[in-house]
A and B are shown apart, each in its own frame.
Chain A
């Protein structure tokens, strides 16, 4: 069925999407501005259906956070600790092995591993992390380290970014997550995460990663102090990079959770805002195959609903999420595969279990 709009101005955007004409910056702004959530949602849903039909993806994955000690101390983070803080930790290889072995009965397909910038950990530690995972779980895909960690590894080792990536790959790294982008803006960078790499460095590293043949995801943290213009610009930066490299697999809009952070006065994002970010990213990122509704941050209920507003992926089982839960997330820490399937099927979609690269995992 053709979409029906309350806001007539959406017709112009719909025509563009239908005719595969790229949306411009102002279209992105307008999609954020319009009050016609259902109208914009229908356009995003058309786009999503043209790409994936009724398929909705999920993965059997496990999160692993090797340390929460971090020198960056971004204002929006509730997870990071200093070395001498209560509750700070860094995994030994035995710890890594133990955490993986505990879940050995679960048919995990991907390990998602990120951590803080812990200055006590030498370059060799990161190589050991990969080797340990490969030893315990030789068949999983390791999706690990954001551009922020790659930059840090290059700094502490004195090696070039390319050399770091190659060495990590030789030791088992197959893919990278999309974190650390936050909002690709100098203004927000200066205010919220000045010690983290800035937008130019983030884009530069990801471009090098893609060029070396490793694919990544990309993210955007919204719901703090960013402006609508900054969000649209963020998406345009990602889209431009994707035109050059085609290395992004999925985009994940990340809803900010403020509890226990230095921005705790900021209220939780609303469904309207969350769905808008799904919609706009689906429509602006015409060259990124997948849009993820990350249930940890959106909550299971809204993530499921988002499958009708442009998202085609629910992330995965995760098993034990730590980072968003330290900032007050109300979602579960992990889900059974059956729950992921049920959420998708009850939304009227077809559940597809995938691997890290979105290949279908056959029943087993």
Chain B
């Protein structure tokens, strides 16, 4: 049975949710990884591993969402809350460009008071540096639309005109309302998240999709999450990559043990096998560390995400795997691949050495 399902996937046929569940429960980890690896080699250049040189900028940490898994946010009025200044932006963007960076990953909390214009100002200022802005996850966009009483599409149109280039897939967590209700009740629900992405795709914006697992979800929820992404991707072809990562419990309100690497690799491999309409699967060195990120390149991942010159959110949960670019290049090369710098759309920029 395991063999039949895996061979079917390798031949390019779609596998069902129940088949994915069967693999999750029964397939040997190395067998699952082997097939994920073979499928990865068919879908993308088998000799290359890509990543983007970018910087994470968190424009605010003030957030009304209060997600239980987050160690980064501050409540409005709480000490330590900030909204980024232009001076800080200038410095951060210049530093990024100096090291060959091509994009800014711009994300922030759900700020209660800031208006559409504040975001427009932010985007326009950043765009004046001629850098790609990969910004605002669906919960942020949906929050701003609600505050302004505008449609998501209209907000997106304004943002595109102001310089937004693509949307990161954050805030997806687990796309099952029952789970979101418990871990992030104030964040947009699963349907809304997918609607925002659909709107974005319809306006020509490319986006990624993430999944945060290892908290209170069940394996069925993981499959449902991927099923919903696969459905939307059939419709829009707007997702560039899937990025599964594991919940980091330190300093958060969810008491849980961290998902082990074997479980992470299992889900990653399954994602590669199940998401037949996604070209790129990212390994998460931020949550897994460099050794498992490198191992993940053999379990279906073909991309290491980004160099992330600055990463604040996961660091707030006491996870600090710093991976400078040299180290990233070494990881890729010692695993037998060519390291390629890419842009946000997975166009190759240059081979690194």
Closest-by-CB residue of B relative to A301 is B261
Whether A302 contacts B298 by the Cβ 8 Å rule is no
Q: Which residues of chain A (17-49) have a CB below 8 Å from chain B?
A: 35, 37-39, 41-42, 45
Q: From residue A21, how far is it (CB to closest CB) to chain B in Å?
A: 23
Q: At the interface, yes or no: B29 with Cβ under 8 Å from chain A?
A: yes
The B interface, classified by DSSP as helix, strand, loop or mixed, is helix
A348 to B262, CA, bound (A): 8
Query: A1-B31, A348-B29 are contacts. A272–B260 as well, Cβ < 8 Å?
Result: no
Measured CB to CB, the residues of A under 8 A from B are 1, 3-4, 6, 35, 37-39, 41-42, 45, 267, 270-275, 298-302, 304-305, 307-309, 342-343, 346-348
Residues in chain B near residue A343, CB distance under 8 A: 260
Residues in chain A near residue B91, CB distance under 8 A: none
Query: A6-B41, A348-B29 are contacts. A270–B330 as well, Cβ < 8 Å?
Result: yes
Whether A305 contacts B28 by the Cβ 8 Å rule is no
* 10 A-B pairs (CB sep. < 8 Å): A4-B34, A6-B37, A35-B336, A45-B28, A270-B294, A270-B331, A271-B295, A272-B334, A301-B261, A302-B291
Partner of A346, one of B35, B262, B289: B262
Whether A45 contacts B30 by the Cβ 8 Å rule is yes
Whether A305 contacts B330 by the Cβ 8 Å rule is no
Residues in chain A near residue B291, CB distance under 8 A: 270-271, 274, 298-299, 301-302
A270 to B333, CA, bound (A): 10
A342 to B257, CA, bound (A): 10
A309 to B33, CA, bound (A): 12
Whether B335 contacts A272 by the Cβ 8 Å rule is yes
Closest-by-CB residue of A relative to B259 is A346
Residues in chain A near residue B3, CB distance under 8 A: 1
Residues in chain B near residue A305, CB distance under 8 A: 261-262, 265, 292, 295
A342 to B261, CA, bound (A): 12
Closest-by-CB residue of A relative to B299 is A38
List 8 additional A-B contacts (Cβ < 8 Å) besides A1-B3, A305-B262, A305-B292: A4-B38, A35-B336, A41-B30, A267-B330, A302-B292, A346-B260, A346-B262, A347-B262
Residues in chain A near residue B335, CB distance under 8 A: 37, 270-272
Q: At the interface, yes or no: B2 with Cβ under 8 Å from chain A?
A: yes
| Chain A proximity mask over B17-36: 1 for CB below 8 Å, otherwise 0 | 00000000000111101110
Residues in chain B near residue A309, CB distance under 8 A: 30
Q: From residue B31, how far is it (CB to closest CB) to chain A in Å?
A: 6
Q: Which residues of chain B (141-157) have a CB below 8 Å from chain A?
A: none
Q: From residue A163, how far is it (CB to closest CB) to chain B in Å?
A: 45
Whether B29 contacts A347 by the Cβ 8 Å rule is yes
Q: Which residues of chain B (281-313) have a CB below 8 Å from chain A?
A: 288-292, 294-295, 298
Partner of A348, one of B28, B294, B336: B28
A273 to B294, CA, bound (A): 10
Residues in chain B near residue A274, CB distance under 8 A: 291
Q: Which residues of chain B (309-335) have a CB below 8 Å from chain A?
A: 330-331, 334-335
